[in-house]
């Protein structure tokens, strides 16, 4: 974490490069390492606002692909194909609304984060609930062979989700990208190549 008064280099870089958020560098690094995004792919981005993951994903999937973002808040970026947005709470959004835009996805990303309370156990549980909700989307909307990347605040119950992903994907990785603040408890779980049901 940068010292008070010292600008965060990732934030400065994001501003200079026209990204909506410093979060983009976490996705960029994981994509560089695991080759998740390619031209023509259909991507679902859960917790997409302000929109830097959408900007980066769109640049990778190109005009023949699709990036659908979902968030309770609208993205702060210009929305034009291949970018689409559905507003809503991930807990209550009807999956049929998502399927009407795109029936299945090649990649599902979740950077969903709860509003933190400062109470570690509460924040961890809320983050885990969001990660399991994202997993429910991936269970239903991710095609076989697809990849699932989900943020979670690490805690004693994280292994329960890891176990589910290990069973559902041919490989599961636990990733802490360089753009993620060292002091933050966030990690990313990555399920690679979803097995056929
Ligand atoms: C860390 S930000 C995502 C940043 C994004 N990946 C980017 O690159 O700009 C987390 C987002 O999750 C959203 N969020 C949290 N809980 C949500 C919920 N229950 N339903 C919908 N969106 C939610 C927040 O509104 C916020 O925009």
Distance (Å) from CA 74 to ligand 1 centroid: 10
Closest residue by Cα to residue 147 from 124, 125, 175, 123: 175
- Among the atoms of ligand 1, which is closest to the Cα of residue 21? 9
**Whether this model's pTM surpasses 0.75:** yes
Cβ–Cβ < 8 Å for 54, 22 = no
Mutate which of 71, 91, 152, 184 for ligand 1 pocket (most atoms within 8 A of beta carbon): 71
DSSP string, 20-81: S-TTHHHHHHHHHHH----TT-EEEEES-TT-HHHHHHHHHH-TTSEEEEEESS--SS---T
pLDDT averaged over 10-residue windows placed end to end, the chain, 197 residues: 71 96 97 98 98 98 98 97 98 96 98 95 96 98 98 95 98 92 89 95
Output the residue whose Cα is nearest ligand 1's atom 20. 89
Q: Which of 26, 28, 60, 151 is catalytic?
A: 151
Strands 142-153 and 105-110: parallel
Distance (Å) from CA 75 to ligand 1 centroid: 10
CATH of 9-194 given 3.40.50.150, 3.40.47.10, 3.30.70.890, 3.40.50.880 = 3.40.50.150
**Domain ranges across the chain:** 9-194
- Known catalytic residue at 151: yes
Residue 184 is predicted with a pLDDT of 81
Ligand 1: list residues with CB < 6 Å.
20-21, 23-24, 47-53, 71-73, 89-91, 111-114, 130
Distance (Å) from CA 63 to ligand 1 centroid: 25
Distance (Å) from CA 149 to ligand 1 centroid: 14
Output the residue whose Cα is nearest ligand 1's atom 13. 47
- Among the atoms of ligand 1, which is closest to the Cα of residue 24? 8
Strand ranges, E, within 95-159: 105-110, 142-153
Residue 181 is predicted with a pLDDT of 82
DSSP 91: T
Other beta carbons within 10 Å of 84: 16
For the chain, the straight-line distance linking the first and the last C-alpha, in angstroms and rounded, comes to 42
Helix axes 120-141, 158-168, angle to 10 degrees: 10
């Amino acid at each position: 974490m940068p010292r008070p008064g010292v600008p965060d280099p990732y934030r400065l870089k994001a501003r200079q490069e026209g990204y909506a958020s410093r979060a983009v560098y976490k996705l960029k690094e994981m994509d560089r390492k695991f080759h998740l995004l390619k031209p023509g792919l259909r991507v679902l981005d859960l917790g997409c606002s302000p929109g830097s993951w959408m900007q980066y994903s769109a640049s990778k999937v190109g005009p023949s692909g699709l990036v659908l973002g979902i968030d309770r808040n609208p993205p702060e970026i210009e929305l034009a194909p291949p970018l689409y947005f559905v507003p809503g709470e991930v807990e209550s959004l009807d999956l049929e609304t998502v399927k009407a835009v795109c029936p299945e996805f090649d990649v599902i990303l979740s950077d969903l984060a709860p509003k933190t309370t400062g109470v570690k156990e509460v924040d961890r549980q809320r983050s885990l609930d969001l990660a399991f909700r994202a997993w429910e989307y991936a269970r239903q909307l991710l095609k076989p062979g697809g990849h699932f990347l989900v943020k979670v605040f690490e805690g004693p119950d994280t292994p329960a989700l890891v176990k589910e992903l290990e069973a559902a994907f041919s490989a599961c990785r636990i990733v802490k990208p360089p753009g993620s603040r060292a002091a933050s408890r966030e990690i990313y779980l990555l399920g690679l190549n979803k097995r056929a049901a």
